[in-house]
Structure 1
Amino acid sequence: MKSTPNFIAILTLLLCLTGTFVRSQVLNPPTPADNPNLPGNSAWTAACASADFNEYFVNFTWSPPLVQANNEFILELSDANGDFGSPRELARAADKNTEFDFEFRFTLATDIQGDGYRFRVRSTSPELTSDPSAAYSMYFIGYNDPILISQDASGVIPPGGVLEVCDGSGITLETHNVPNADTYSYSWYRSGTLLAETSNALNVTQSGMYFVEIDYGVNCSGSANTLSNTIEVSFGSSQGISINPPTTNTLCATEMVTLEANISGMGYLYTWFNGGTIVSGPTADASTYTVDGSVSGFEGEYSVRIEGPGICAEQSDSVSIGAAGDYTVTRVNEPNLVLLPGRNETLTASTTAASPTFQWFRDGTAISGETAASLTVDTPGTYYAEITETGGPCTLPAKSTEETLVVLPTDLELSIDYVGTYSDCAASETTLTVLQINAVDPNNNRIDVTATLRNDFTYQWAKDGIAIPGLTSDQLVLNSVDDNGFYTLEGVLESFTATSNPLSVRLAPESNLTIEATGLQVCEGVSVSLSTSTDLTGMDFAWRKDGVELSSAESTLTTDEIGTYQLAISADGCPILSNEVVISNFDASGIAIDLGDSIVIPSGSSEIATATGANSYEWYDAANTLLSNTESVTLSEEGNYTLVAAVGSCSFTLPFSVSFRDSFEVPNVITANGDGINDLWIIPNTFSRNNDITVIIYNEQGEEVLNEVGYQNNWPASSTAFTKRNQIFYYKIRNAQETLRQGTITVIR
């Protein structure tokens, strides 16, 4: 019983050392707060954010003791069902560690949509989490304009907002003006009754008045102003509307035909269509429509639509009405023909008429006796054929072919051009060709006769004014720098000789001009040299940096400036550019040792360190002894080391250290009996002889018997007196911020 006070003292000391008596912090659930930036505002009850407003606050309180200096408070949000399985971070505060009552500001992400969101606050040091808050409606209103709905999202709103549907067939109403429509939930209504559908499309099978709005919850939906237009859907029975077969489907210009609906006398409204165009109605009981063949454009596809009380609006299939005996005429020959001396040309007309007659005209006057499908001409003028259908059911007006211009030229002109895109010194091949041949008439008018006369000319190509033997086609292929020069083409036809415009050709010479550099990085005192294996003697050349010509006239360029370099030479009148070489500043950031710069190895073993990011490596110990000149080195001794890594002529020095890993824990028993075995309290190297570590030892009464920075593994001293055989001491090992180890030491004597 006499040891009871000592036991209590020991227990009290241990509890104090371990912090058992320290009360832990309490984090309270956050609650909505008013917005200090909105005058007269009160705490929010639901968050209805949008692009125009998105700023909210919650109040957070917590109770002491103080948190650690490096603590952060983090405001987190659950999912829409209140689940924190994957919480969303809204805000964090690192400067509120001495404030027990403060507010978080947060905004809503665009995908926040729901009524069950909860908040909580988490601290990082110590690691604590508050209870969840109450549930709140929170919506980001991404769309806040009136919705437009239509059948199948066609964008066509029916006249009067009424859709009439036949025979109970369902239709689909769908939004057509909401971007990313499938990202929202919707509330559909039929005559004011909320329906179960929540997508942006609704299958309608009952009559009623339909509208929709985006569901932003009870608190936010109304303010979003998304209520759509209303469409009244009416279901009725089909009458089977059709058009009775007409007496004829083709009309002459003097004929008419009456189309008749199969339903009449019911008081319905009738609308008649030719294709998509209304030609009559809607008119009550107008069950017939007369098509007049004398009206231009009467041909087409006719249909009728009926509507009325108790029936659905429906439209018939179409009936085709066309012109009887219609035919086409076509000019077969070229539109422009040239009469050369001693030659004639043939004009031809074609027609689909069953029994045609032909009459040819020159300059608007009928040519006597020329009533065949073809006409041979030897006189200039403007010609066409007039064709009349003499058979068939109708008397039809005559039709004329397109005109043909026949000229007797005073001159022929020839022009040439490149085939495709061409630029001097950009291509290694090009083709020249006849572009156009013009006939010049006595009035100096030019008529394009390329298609007619191209193959009738005799051609001769010339380079720099000298004819090239053997090159006599209408095209010329050039594919060598030896072909560079000015080209013309001469064409001869009968008594006419035409010389073309000249074209310049400068093809790019083949080149393998390349440059090389002694390095790609420069650093202080280190430059690089650029050179080429091409002999530049007698050549016009220039070095370029970033596209700008340099003043250097040397075949080798030495530089310590970063940039993109090229060599340009001139050959056959064309500039030739070498490859680009990019010179950059020496960057040591990529040089690294795979084990880091503080390497820890087990005592008595070794580790292989490997460097990357350079071209060559040298490893040195503290005595400057070279250990390796490869990318790797074997390390087995503690100490300071140096890696010298080089890229080209630039080098980088990286110091690092090697220490032994502690292989034992802090001991809790020593035998201070002077036998030289376990007489001293030896702690791991991590903590001993370290000027950043303080070791404190207490006796059973809580009195310090040692307080030492950089502990030397030398306690207890030989002169230390112990009051009992098995005496207990207490220790703490600390750095500047925290206690690293603590416990008891039993000294056995």
Structure 2
Amino acid sequence: MKKFYKSYFLTAIIVLIGSLQLSAQAIVINAPEPADNPNLAGTSVWGYICAGSGGFNEYFVNVTWAGTANSGNQFILELSDANGSFGSPVELANVTDKNNTNDFDIGFSIPEDTRGLGYKMRVRSTDPVKVGAESEAYNMFFMDITTNLNISELGNGVPPGTVCATGPITLQVDNIPNPETYQYIWYRSGTLLAGESGHTLNVTQSGMYNAYIDYGPNCTGSGNTDSNIVDVTIGGTGTGIAISTPSQTLLCPTDSETLSIDQTDASWSYQWYKNDTAILGAIGTTYTVDGGVVGFEGDYAVEITGTGICTERSAAVSMSNPGSFTVTRDNPQNIVVLPAQQQTLSVSTNASAPTYKWFRNDVEITGETNNTLNITEEGTYYAQITETGGSCGSSSKNSDTTIAVSPASFEVVVDYADNYTSCVTTSIILEVVTINAVATNGTKTDVTTDLIDAFAYQWQKEGTDIAGQNGKSISLASNQENGNYKLDASIDTYNESSNTLSVQLLTSDAVTISSTSSVYCSASDIVSLSSSLDLTTEIYEWQLDGAVVSTTDISLDVSAAGTYRLVLDRDGCQLISNEVTISPLDDNLITLEPSGSIVIPEGTSRTISANGGTTYRWMDANNAEISTSDSASITEPGTYTLIASIDNCDVVKQFEVSILDTFKVPNVITVNGDGINDQWVIPNSYSNRDDVNVIIYNGQGQEIINEFNYKNNWPQTSTAFARQNMVFYYKIRNASEVLKQGTITVIR
């Protein structure tokens, strides 16, 4: 009996899927499943993928589907990202010759950057367009590295057997390209270090360390990426090195001090550090700190390394300057000297008892001994400040230089204040962004900060002054202001014109179009498009699917289906309307539920519903109107007509209604040859009908009859029954539903 129900329901599902395909022209694509590789011996259905170079990257999936595919259809196998998302799927393979094959295998290779635990696959079709079900998640790894890793402290590719350090160290993978692009598994003395997946490891505990590239739970072991083992001792006994006490730690600019390690060994290597940063080339037992070098101040230490000893760094020694002072230039770096005008330079300092000297072009200016200097000519200026009262005695510093120019001309640059796109931006501000002083040799000096407020301005449009626009910026907010703009700027005897900026602002107007219908019924049908604006004074064009169809019609009579829009020219910019789509009439836009021929029991009614129209008229077999809503109640047999309107188009649908015979389907027949009840005779509403399917199963669930237009002729002989009271099962159905089902007992 269990076998019967399994077969019974399988048959029901197959018939249901077939019915859906016939009625809706649908296509159903199941999730792809791992399949055997026919190019390998034996059975090789995969459950995860550990691919690699050298041709070891060929896999297969099985694809099943149901429905109807068109001749130009492609089936495309796609791969998700490592998290199972198909936001940007990767195409693995496609086939074009399986449109009549509902069960086939596809071969594929995974991309070389595939590494993760959550990859999924799916298949989609192109004609009709359908995205299939997603597979379950799989581990997939392309193992491009399949050789042993090397880990070391120095990152030099040399595998250290042991490392001894007085404090934490860093181990790193150092023998593969771009090690940071992989995930790793780290172990300490055989124990997994949870959460450590980078190519470097901060080691704070003693132990034996090694690493693998993480190729997931199934592939890591076959990747052969296990590293060397490094035996690390942290907090080992050091030699107790130190820096010998220096004779002085406060250095004046004329002082220097040589720092030295308090013990040495020929087998040791040395490295000096300043503020925990290695000093380039400082690898001896001593290091000299020069007080005359700017920025010498800091904390100095020395580190030793060597075979059989722990890496050890000494305590730091602080070196500083007791007499350091600062000098600040108070004026801008670049200034302009104009005719009959002077500029004042100044410096400030925290030096003790300072004295001042001023220099122009590296030549001292006699008599200028204050912290300020008035200038009237171009040149490069700086002040020299000498501290006379500090603990280090007399020392001097120069201020930063000031470049003074007496320009041959000025360059005034204007630009858009914000992002600007022609015919997109609706408002914009133009402003001065740079003022350069231009020397006779063409050298430019940026003097914007100093002079932007000193110039007098006049904005121009198309070469004509704009009344009242005398600021360093101008605001434009209307397409009526479109044009070419520049700025005249003057100061003293200089009169300059800026670069020119073109402004094409999008109009704030809007235009909409509408149509008398959204459906184009036939060549004789008329659908008109019209605009919300008066087009008599406009320059415009009507477009169909982006191509021009008319530049003269105020109202456009549609002659083809497609997407229409209106484009107006507004001061060189396009003003684009909304889009109106006119569709060709399609009878399939109107659907009936239920569809096909309808059988109702005698004395009952059935409601038929319609979808897709704007209005409806239902007519009975006598052409009398029975409903104007989207449904009608049917009680009598005959041919019924639905007239559905889609806008100004009519679609006519007809359907047949028949009455179900009232006598029952027999559940017992007697095959004794007496001519009475020897065969299974069913009502006329079920037999001899091309649209009714009769199926009979034996006790094992096997079909023995499956036919349309059943002739009431089963069984054709009584010898087909081996024993008394055999039970059979039947099902009577049409394309959309089961009409009757039950048992048949055969008595001999």
What is the TM-score with the length of structure 2 in the denominator? 0.64
Partner of 2:447: 449
Partner of 1:332: 330
Partner of 1:134: none
Counterpart mapping for 1:46-445 below 5 A = 50=51, 52-53=55-56, 142-143=142-143, 145-146=146-147, 148=149, 150=151, 156=155, 160-162=159-161, 164=163, 177=179, 181=183, 207-208=207-208, 210=210, 212=212, 224-234=223-233, 237-239=236-238, 248-257=248-257, 259=259, 270-274=270-274, 275-277=276-278, 286=285, 289-293=287-291, 298-307=296-305, 312-316=310-314, 318-394=316-392, 398-409=396-407, 411-412=409-410, 414-439=412-437
Task: Write out per-residue CA displacement over residues 23-82 of structure 1, whole angstroms, 9 at most, x where no aligned residue.
Answer: xxxxxxxxxx998746xx67889999635336699xxxxxxxxxxxxxxxxxxxxxxxxx
d(CA) in 1 for partners of 2:194, 2:447? 70
Task: Write out per-residue CA displacement over residues 247-266 of structure 1, whole angstroms, 9 at most, x where no aligned residue.
Answer: 65442344344546688889
423-432 or 727-736, which moves further after superposition?
Answer: 727-736
Assess, with a 3 A threshold, how the Cα gap between structure 1 residues 317 and 513 changes in structure 2: closer, same or farther.
farther
Instruction: Give the deviation of 1:645 after TM superposition.
Output: 3.6
d(CA) in 1 for partners of 2:39, 2:620? 63
Assess, with a 3 A threshold, how the Cα gap between structure 1 residues 332 and 575 changes in structure 2: closer, same or farther.
same
SS class of match (1:452): helix
Instruction: Give the deviation of 1:532 after TM superposition.
Output: 0.7
d(CA) in 2 for partners of 1:513, 1:585? 25
Partner of 1:629: 628
Assess, with a 3 A threshold, how the Cα gap between structure 1 residues 234 and 421 changes in structure 2: closer, same or farther.
closer
Instruction: Give the deviation of 1:501 after TM superposition.
Output: 4.7
Instruction: Give the deviation of 1:108 after TM superposition.
Output: 11
AA at the equivalent of 1:251? L
Identify which of 510, 513, 517 aligns with 1:512: 510
d(CA) in 2 for partners of 1:423, 1:204? 57
Instruction: Give the deviation of 1:228 after TM superposition.
Output: 2.8
SS class of match (1:529): strand
AA at the equivalent of 1:381? G
d(CA) in 2 for partners of 1:591, 1:634? 18
Task: State the superposition RMSD in angstroms.
Answer: 5.5
Q: Is 1:593 the equivalent of 2:596?
A: no
Partner of 1:556: 555
d(CA) in 2 for partners of 1:108, 1:162? 40
d(CA) in 1 for partners of 2:663, 2:346? 112
SS class of match (2:451): helix
Larger radius of gyration: 1
Paired residues of 2:212 and 2:220 also in contact (CA < 8 A): no
Q: Structure 2 stretches of 5 or more lacking a match?
A: 6-34, 61-97, 99-103, 118-137, 671-676, 697-706, 716-723, 734-739
Instruction: Give the deviation of 1:554 after TM superposition.
Output: 1.0
Task: Write out per-residue CA displacement over residues 258-309 of structure 1, whole angstroms, 9 at most, x where no aligned residue.
Answer: 54668888986654323332567877xx5x6553445677544423334567
Paired residues of 2:215 and 2:223 also in contact (CA < 8 A): no
AA at the equivalent of 1:593? L
Assess, with a 3 A threshold, how the Cα gap between structure 1 residues 312 and 324 changes in structure 2: closer, same or farther.
same
Paired residues of 2:607 and 2:632 also in contact (CA < 8 A): yes
Instruction: Give the deviation of 1:728 after TM superposition.
Output: 9.3
Paired residues of 2:257 and 2:288 also in contact (CA < 8 A): yes
d(CA) in 1 for partners of 2:498, 2:109? 74
Counterpart mapping for 1:27-46 below 5 A = 37=39
d(CA) in 2 for partners of 1:635, 1:359? 113
Instruction: Give the deviation of 1:668 after TM superposition.
Output: 4.3
SS class of match (1:161): coil
Q: Structure 1 stretches of 5 or more lacking a match?
A: 1-16, 19-32, 58-94, 96-102, 114-137, 672-677, 697-706, 716-726
Q: Is 1:471 the equivalent of 2:474?
A: no
Instruction: Give the deviation of 1:345 after TM superposition.
Output: 1.2
Aligned pairs, number:
607
SS class of match (1:451): helix
d(CA) in 2 for partners of 1:440, 1:140? 64
Assess, with a 3 A threshold, how the Cα gap between structure 1 residues 730 and 170 changes in structure 2: closer, same or farther.
same
Instruction: Give the deviation of 1:740 after TM superposition.
Output: 8.1
AA at the equivalent of 1:582? T
Paired residues of 1:459 and 1:490 also in contact (CA < 8 A): yes
- Identity of aligned pairs, percent? 35
Partner of 2:612: 613
AA at the equivalent of 2:528? S
Instruction: Give the deviation of 1:359 after TM superposition.
Output: 0.9
SS class of match (2:468): coil
Partner of 2:719: none
Paired residues of 2:188 and 2:207 also in contact (CA < 8 A): no
d(CA) in 2 for partners of 1:453, 1:313? 60
d(CA) in 2 for partners of 1:243, 1:352? 34
d(CA) in 2 for partners of 1:635, 1:449? 91
Assess, with a 3 A threshold, how the Cα gap between structure 1 residues 694 and 447 changes in structure 2: closer, same or farther.
closer
AA at the equivalent of 2:366? S
